[in-house]
Chains A and B, each alone.
Chain A
Amino acid sequence: MEAALNTPPEWLERIVLSAIPPAAREAVAGDLWETYQSPHQYAVEALCTVPLVVLSQMRRNLNPLVLMLQGTMIFLGLGGAATLIFLPLLMLRDAYQPVTRPTPRNCIREAILLSSGAMILLLLIMSIHSPFPVRSGVDSFTWLSLFLAALFLSPFLCLFRAGLIMQGDRCQKLAGHDMSREALTKVYDSFQRGAFCRNMLEGVALAFAAATGFFFAWNTLLVGLFALMAVYLLVDTRPRASVAGDFTSVRAEYQRDLARQEQLRRFLRWLWFAPVLVALHARLAGAAIDSVPPLLNCVAVAILCFLVTALNREHGGRVREEIDQLDRIHEAQSSDC
């Protein structure tokens, strides 16, 4: 009975838990629970603590390059006011990134919602003819084709998402709860080698894309960005020597490196899709609002953003899972592994 009285009320705890970013939830909620005296003290303590924890997580997860790229896209598409509203929201969303991969159920639900949204948009435009007079010679057959295309979008997006989930499931996970320093160093070295090769390959590919873009007169900003990233990857990436220190130091370095590489990958995924998004935006800006091409462009932009976000969430979730798993492993004697 005593113990039950010295625990925070369930409803209050639930509110506090939902306010703490997932990456800090376990430690912060545990600390608040441990120092619990009364509901009032708990609520005041949580009110004073959580905002600073949220700000700290926003800073930790901030990817300035990705944010700049997203900001530019929002600015190009929706204007300055929308950019000012969306950027803090994007930062806040980053602070609340889950520590695990998104659940398959949520992923499939999102894919179905997106394709259903596209279908409903098309249906609406088909039914409301007067405010959206169809010029450009679009007949009912074209509308029907568009509707059917949207209908097939749902299984396509679901399949893509399911493929990503399966690929994530297949990826090798850390070997259980105990690991020796030597085994951890081996895993870390192998990760570093993989990251080095990937960065070199991607650097060369970006340099090639930048050169191609230069000759075919792409958007100058994008060509510059591609070239800069290529130089960064080729110059900055080099194989590092094994980390000195004990198990905890190696683990901390591995975790930092995992997070750093994921931040880089997150930006690169957006960067690779950026030329297509910019091209679609250019077409959208040049076309009449009531014709079919802008409508298709909007759908294409939504699908592309879905694909990049899905890739980022799946891979990012896997990395965060690995970091969390590393947090919980204990040091074992070297003969264990």
Chain B
Amino acid sequence: MDSLGQFEQIVLTAILALDDNAYGVTIHAKVEELSRPKKAARGAVYATLDRMEDKGLISSWLSEPTKERGGRSRRHYRIEKSGEKALRESARTAQRLIETIAQTLGGLAWKPR
């Protein structure tokens, strides 16, 4: 199984957090929120979604067209089992990093923001 890049982790987490409401606009907003203070380009989010879909980490489908989108459908995304597994693995690695950093910088009362 390929390990996830940092941006992939953020996008996957955004999809996970949004649950049934994960589509382009909401995913981009959530990604911006998660990657603060960095800005995330919407195009980069689309490219990452495409790449992860090709890897089988997520799946997508089109909803019914809506008026507020000019009669166009939303492309909804959902995490697949392999995506969940990859995200758990990344979270475990991040956890180990946090623990190590906290141990090393403990005296400085370091805590992740």
Which residues of chain B from 56 to 70 have a CB within 8 Å of any chain A CB?
56, 59-62, 66, 68-70
**Given the complex, which residues of A lie within 8 Å of B74, measured CB to CB?**
27, 30-31
Rounded to whole angstroms, the CA-CA distance of A231 and B33 in the bound complex is 49
| Inter-subunit contact A29/B70 (CB<8 Å) | yes
CB < 8 Å: which of A48, A55, A245, A251 contacts B42? A48
Cα A59 to Cα B62 in complex, Å, equals 21
Give B50 Cβ to nearest chain A Cβ, in Å.
Answer: 5
- B54 and A256: CB pair below 8 A? yes
Interface string of A6-31 (1 = CB under 8 A from B): 01000001000000000010111111
- Asked whether B105 is an interface residue with its Cβ less than 8 Å from the other chain, the reply is no
Q: How far is the CB of B44 from chain A (nearest CB, A)?
A: 6
Question: Interface of chain A, helix or strand or loop or mixed?
Answer: helix
- Please, which residues of chain B bring their CB within 8 A of the CB of A252? 53, 56, 59-60, 80
Of the candidates A7, A13, A30, A53, which one forms a contact with B47 in the assembled complex, judged by CB atoms under 8 Å apart? Answer: A53
- The interface centre, meaning the residue of A31, A59, A248, A249 with most chain B CB atoms within 10 A of its CB, is A31
Give the residues from 182 to 239 in chain A that come closer than 8 angstroms, CB to CB, to chain B.
none
Say yes or no: is B85 at the interface (Cβ < 8 Å to chain A).
no
Q: Is A45 an interface residue (CB 8 A)?
A: yes
List B1-55 residues whose CB lies under 8 Å from chain A: 23-25, 28, 41-44, 46-47, 50-51, 53-54
Once the chains are docked, how many angstroms separate the CA of A60 from the CA of B69?
25
Give chain A's interface residue range (CB within 8 Å of chain B): 20 to 34
Tell me if B100 counts as interface (CB < 8 A to partner A).
no
**Are B59 and A26 neighbours in the complex by a CB distance under 8 Å?**
no
Partner of B69, one of A24, A34, A45: A34
- Decide: B73 and A52 in contact? CB cutoff 8 A: no
Which listed residue, B24, B53, B56, B78, touches A31 by the CB 8 Å rule?
B24
Per a CB cutoff under 8 Å, which of B42, B44, B72 touches A30?
Answer: B72
CB-contact partner of A249 in B41, B47, B59, B69, under 8 A: B59
**Interface residue ranges, A against B (CB under 8 Å):** 7, 13, 24, 26-31, 33-35, 45, 48-53, 55-57, 59-60, 245, 248-249, 251-253, 256, 327-328
A-B contact pairs, 16 of them (CB 8 A): A24-B46, A26-B62, A27-B23, A27-B24, A27-B62, A30-B70, A30-B73, A34-B68, A49-B42, A49-B43, A59-B51, A248-B59, A248-B61, A252-B53, A252-B60, A327-B75
